[in-house]
């Protein structure tokens, strides 16, 4: 410890961060005792470990560059909710039961299952980071369970009338988009990034290698799709093959007004102008339903839809099967019902 020219006392200690880097930290005080108290307070804090907010801040800085823009936007509000609940708490002191209590509070507010699940996903990712950097020895978020009875947002299947209208649209310009989404099941962003060179009529496949993300109104092409499974060749079914132009074309399938990528504003304007009463994701759901009805098994269907998790694909198939059971029950009930009494014939 040494006395500075300004009259204060100074002492240095060496600390090691989570990455193993050694750093020097300096403490100051009006007396040697005050410096020692500051060092003891700091080392005591260090022994308790960082707060969840401190670890969350590190996680966002270190891994932020690897997270997709849309994912960052999706995680923003859930992360704020997690920090509001646990931010000042020592990360090693938070328990699974406390996390589940937090999730129940969200459920009481009427949040849907997916909304609650994303908060748990954020907590899990923070704790995985903390595990890698030795801030904690266990991950309480990994064993936390979602509250029972959460409502799932229902994705309505487009009506037969809407699908019939789409199948009869002229396959020219932007009007080809809903047809393409319905007959290929590709995601909206994947469709907006498609170029005519991605369509292989000879081998009857569409190469999905990139997609468009919208940063506000600005379209940005990313050369990686939602997951590794997103890189795929979608079979061009006969219905679509008959509608695609046979002469060779270049550029984007759905260019904007300037000839380049379409802005988000242009996309919304075009789509709303079609007055279809359906979303792009509903058309993807219609495609998956037709895969099921055609007898394509879940594992093979994944190669066409770009789902990365077989559990997700099987879950969708189960939902479709259950909905068809309801339809079958209605038909059987109608079949089993006694015929209506015929009115007596007039003599």
Q: How far apart are CA 87 and CA 70, in angstroms?
A: 24
Question: Is the model's pLDDT at 345 over the cut of 70?
Answer: no
- Per the DSSP assignment, residues forming a β-bridge with 208 are 232
Question: Is the model's pLDDT at 69 over the cut of 80?
Answer: no
Q: State the number of CA atoms in the 13 A half-sphere of 172 facing the CB.
A: 1
| pTM (two decimals) | 0.67
Classified by CATH at the fold level, domain 160-325 comes out as hpI Integrase; Chain A (1.10.443)
Write the DSSP symbol of residue 228. G
The whole-number pLDDT of residue 347 equals 47
Q: Where are the domains of the chain?
A: 2-48, 67-132, 160-325
The tens digit of pLDDT for each residue in 78-99 reads 999 999 999 999 999 999 999 9
- Average confidence (pLDDT) over 138-162: 88
The tens digit of pLDDT for each residue in 213-261 reads 999 999 999 886 656 667 899 999 999 999 999 888 999 999 999 999 9
Q: How far apart are CA 128 and CA 190, in angstroms?
A: 30
DSSP 115-155: HHHHHHHHHHHHHHHHHHTTS-SS-TTTT--PPTTPPPPP-
* Packed helices 264-274 and 176-184: angle between N→C axes, nearest 10 degrees: 90
Answer for the pair 20, 95: CB distance below 8 angstroms, yes or no: no
Question: Is the model's pLDDT at 108 over the cut of 50?
Answer: yes
The tens digit of pLDDT for each residue in 38-50 reads 877 777 665 677 8
- Average confidence (pLDDT) over 282-309: 89
The whole-number pLDDT of residue 154 equals 64
Least confident of 45-59, 184-198, 306-320, 330-344: 330-344
pLDDT tier for residue 283 given thresholds of 50, 70 and 90? very high
Answer for the pair 75, 119: CB distance below 8 angstroms, yes or no: no
The whole-number pLDDT of residue 148 equals 93
Q: How far apart are CA 287 and CA 236, in angstroms?
A: 12
What is the share, in percent, of the chain residues with pLDDT greater than 70? 91
The whole-number pLDDT of residue 199 equals 96
pLDDT tier for residue 307 given thresholds of 50, 70 and 90? confident
Average pLDDT, the chain: 87
């Amino acid at each position: 410890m040494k006395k500075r020219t300004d009259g204060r006392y100074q002492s240095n200690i060496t600390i090691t961060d989570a990455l193993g880097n050694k750093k020097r930290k300096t403490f100051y005080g009006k007396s040697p005792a005050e410096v020692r108290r500051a060092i003891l307070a700091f080392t005591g804090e260090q022994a308790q470990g960082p707060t969840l907010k401190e670890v969350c801040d590190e996680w966002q800085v270190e891994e932020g560059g690897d997270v997709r823009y849309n994912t960052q936007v999706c995680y923003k509000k859930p992360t704020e909710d997690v920090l509001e609940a646990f931010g000042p708490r020592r990360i090693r002191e938070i328990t699974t039961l406390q996390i589940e209590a937090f999730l129940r509070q969200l459920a009481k507010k009427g949040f849907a299952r997916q909304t609650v699940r994303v908060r748990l996903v954020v907590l899990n990712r923070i704790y995985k980071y903390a595990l890698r950097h030795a801030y904690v020895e266990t991950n309480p978020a990994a064993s936390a369970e979602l509250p029972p009875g959460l409502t799932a947002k229902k994705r309505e299947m487009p009506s037969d009338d809407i699908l019939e209208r789409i199948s009869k649209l002229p396959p020219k310009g932007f009007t080809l988009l809903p047809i393409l989404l319905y007959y290929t099941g590709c995601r909206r962003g994947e469709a907006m990034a498609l170029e005519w060179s991605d369509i292989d009529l000879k081998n009857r496949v569409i190469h999905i290698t990139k997609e468009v993300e919208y940063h506000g109104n600005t379209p940005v092409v990313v050369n990686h799709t939602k997951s590794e499974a997103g890189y795929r060749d979608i079979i061009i079914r006969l219905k679509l093959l008959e509608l695609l132009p046979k002469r060779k074309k270049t550029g984007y399938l759905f260019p904007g007004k300037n000839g380049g990528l379409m802005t988000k504003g242009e996309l919304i304007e075009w789509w709303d102008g079609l007055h279809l009463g359906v979303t792009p994701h509903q058309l993807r759901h219609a495609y998956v339903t037709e895969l099921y009805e055609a007898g394509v098994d879940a594992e093979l269907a994944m190669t066409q839809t770009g789902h990365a998790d077989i559990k997700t694909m099987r879950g969708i198939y189960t939902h479709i099967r259950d909905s068809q059971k309801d339809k079958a029950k209605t038909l059987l009930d109608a079949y089993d019902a006694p015929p209506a009494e015929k009115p007596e014939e007039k003599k």
